[in-house]
Amino acid sequence: MARPDIITIPILPLGMVNAFLLIVPGGAVLIDAGLPGSERKIRRALAEAGLTSADLKLIVVTHGHIDHAGDARALRDLSGAPILMHEADIAYCQGEQPLLRPTGAFGRIFKMTGAIEAPFPHFTPDIVLSGSEERSLTEFGVKGRVLPTSGHTPGSISLLMDDGTVFAGDLAASGILLGGIALRNRPRQPPFEEDPAEVAASLRMLLERGARRFYLGHGGPLGAAAIQRHVARLERPSAMQGATRLKSAVSEAD
C-alpha cells in the first residue's frame, strides 16, 4: 500500500483553517470537513486530483468545532462517505455549545464574536470511537490508525500514519491570531483549549509512537522538534498552574 498523496485544502486562506485530502487507491479520505459551505472547495480539490465526490471513501472529523465539523453532513449527503469521530464530541455536533476556554487575548476576543458557537447542520457519525479505542484505516486505503488525543476537546482524535505523518486537528497551531498567516514555523496553542495538560499528554504520546510531521487545522505543518518544544512549554509548572486557575474560573462562571 503506497503512501497517499496529501492535498491541503485552504478552507480559509493563508493556512488559517485547513482540511486535508489523502489520495488513496480508488479514491480519497478527507480529514476534517471545514466550515459550513466548504463543499465547493473540497469538490475542487477532488477534481484537481481527477476525482469526484463519489470517490470520497471516509470523512474523519478530528473534533466537533464548527470549523472542522461544520460541513460534515453536507459532504456525507453529497458523497455517501461515512463520518468517523469520537463519541465524546458527538454532542457538539448535535447542538450542544462547546466548552471554550481561551488560551489568550485573541481567544477571548474571538469568543465574544460568537463565530465558533454558531449553529451548523447536526449529524450523527457513522463510525464512532469510544473511550481509548483506536481504529485502523487500512480498509480505506490508509496505512495508519485513528487515535484518541483528548485535550483540545474531550473527543479530539488524530490520524497517525505508519510513516510518522500525523493529522492532529487543533492539538497545536502555528502562526498568529487564529493560526497561519505568518510565523507558521512557530508552534503555539490554538485560541481555545479545554485541557492543556491533556493536550501535552496527547502530543507526547504521538511523539512516542513515532509522529514526525504534524499537519494542523490552523497553520503548520510542523516537525517533531517544534512539537517537542511546544509540549515542554505546556508542561512547565507555571503553564499548568495557569491552566488550573483558568479551569476553576470557568467552572465557577458556569
Q: Is the pLDDT of residue 215 over 60?
A: yes
Mean pLDDT in the chain? 94
CATH number at residue 181: 3.60.15.10
Q: Which domain holds residue 220?
A: 5-253
State the pTM of this model: 0.93
Per DSSP, the residues of the chain read: -PPPEEEEEEEEGGGTEEEEEEEETTEEEEE---STTTHHHHHHHHHHTT--GGGEEEEE-SSSSHHHHTTHHHHHHHH-PPEEEEGGGGGGGGTPPP---BSSHHHHHHHHHTGGG--------SEEE-TT--EE-GGGT-SEEEEE--SSSTT-EEEEETTSEEE-TTS-EEBSTTSBSS-TTSEE--SB-S-HHHHHHHHHHHHHTT--EEE-SSS--EEHHHHHHHHHHHTSHHHHHHHHHHHHHHHHH-
Average pLDDT of 81-92? 98
Distance between CA atoms of 56 and 76, rounded to whole angstroms? 9
The tens digit of pLDDT for each residue in 121-144 reads 999 999 999 999 999 999 999 999
pLDDT at 240: 54
> Hey, what's the cell of 212?
514526525
pLDDT category at 243 given cuts 50, 70, 90 is low
Q: Is the pLDDT of residue 64 over 60?
A: yes
Strands 5-12 and 17-24: antiparallel
Nearest to 111 by CA among 190, 176, 50: 190
Q: How many domains does the chain contain in total?
A: 1
pLDDT at 218: 98
pLDDT at 4: 85
Q: Is the pLDDT of residue 45 over 90?
A: yes
pLDDT at 251: 47
